[in-house]
Amino acid sequence: MKLQSFADSEIGNAREINEDRFVRDDDLGLYIVCDGMGGHARGDLAAEIATSAVLEYVRHQHIQRDTTDEQLIATLRQVAVRAIAHANLAVCKLAKVDPTCRRMGSTVTMMIVVRNLAVIAHCGDSPVFRTTTKLERLTRDHTLAAELKSQGVVVHGHNLPSRFHHMLTRCLGRDDLEGPEVATIRLRAGDQFVLCSDGLAASLERMSPGELNRALDGAQPAAALVQVALRSDGRDNITALVINVEPQSRRSIRRDQTHRQTDPNVGHFPPANNGAVFREAVA
């Protein structure tokens, strides 16, 4: 399968610096979005270190492509978990030796694709969406509000002030990081994915189907999504990374599959013991 990606990042309407970073490498099949933690020391540097560390780690892996799906899935999951462990170690190491970086941190979201299989691994609230037939979120946020909601707690201003809604429960820059959340999906020609920072996520979910399709079917879909977010709110840094799985036309695929309620070719595979792999990589 051929992959074609687009990316764009803007500082937004209220921030002084852009703490978002991204990597896209269609030949390697690697896509990364990191969002340095706003309000913390050197969030931009943490995101820079994280993207570079993940890219460096994956580039040095010799992934055997001529193998079974099960073996390839296991390999990709291990590579993703260890790449994020490598990134977390790099961020923590600098934070310990440089007082100006003591509390720096970052989200990390990565997608690695080999053949028709993709592994998504993430820590934080930089989400991944599939937009082939409709907007579908593939990741869950690691925030205090999301964790409380998953436990059945009704979150509102009285029991959780708004400033705590986006407090991260899992991110790079922590010695006690338990590791990333990992999922595996099977790709089809015509699929389309969006990796983004949280500065785009809310605007993306508010878009009408028509507005979303117009942005994604254009010549520069990532830039189009960023511009919509800037007009909608734009208070945060905004980053969009769009991945098209070719060769079939996204437009025809989207039109032909709108009647499907479920996707039989895409799903989560049985979870691996990510925590054990993560601890082994850090040790």
- 43's tokens: 């969030």
Looking at residue 109, the DSSP 8-state letter turns out to be E
Give the structural domain span for 99. Answer: 2-275
Average pLDDT over residues 151-172: 71
Looking at residue 100, the DSSP 8-state letter turns out to be G
Q: Which CATH number covers residue 85?
A: 3.60.40.10
Domain assignment of residue 283, yes or no: no
Domain assignment of residue 66, yes or no: yes
Scan for tokens 């708004």, then name that residue: 162
How far is the C-alpha of 29 from the C-alpha of 243, rounded, in Å?
10
Domain assignment of residue 27, yes or no: yes
> What is the 3 state secondary structure string of 134-156?
CCEECCCCCEHHHHHHHCCCCCC
Domain assignment of residue 12, yes or no: yes
Domain assignment of residue 282, yes or no: no
Average pLDDT over residues 162-178: 83
How far is the C-alpha of 223 from the C-alpha of 229, rounded, in Å?
10
How far is the C-alpha of 17 from the C-alpha of 15, rounded, in Å?
6
The most distant pair of C-alpha atoms in the chain lies apart, rounded to whole Å, by 56
Domain assignment of residue 64, yes or no: yes
Domain assignment of residue 96, yes or no: yes
- Report how many domains make up the chain: 1
Residues in the chain, total: 283
| Nearest by Cα to 10 from 171, 212, 243, 235 | 235
Scan for tokens 């579908």, then name that residue: 136
Q: What is the pLDDT of residues 62-88, one digit of tens each?
A: 999 999 999 999 999 999 999 999 999
Q: What is the pLDDT of residues 102-159, one digit of tens each?
A: 889 999 999 999 999 999 999 999 999 999 888 999 999 998 877 777 777 766 655 5
- 133's tokens: 């037939």
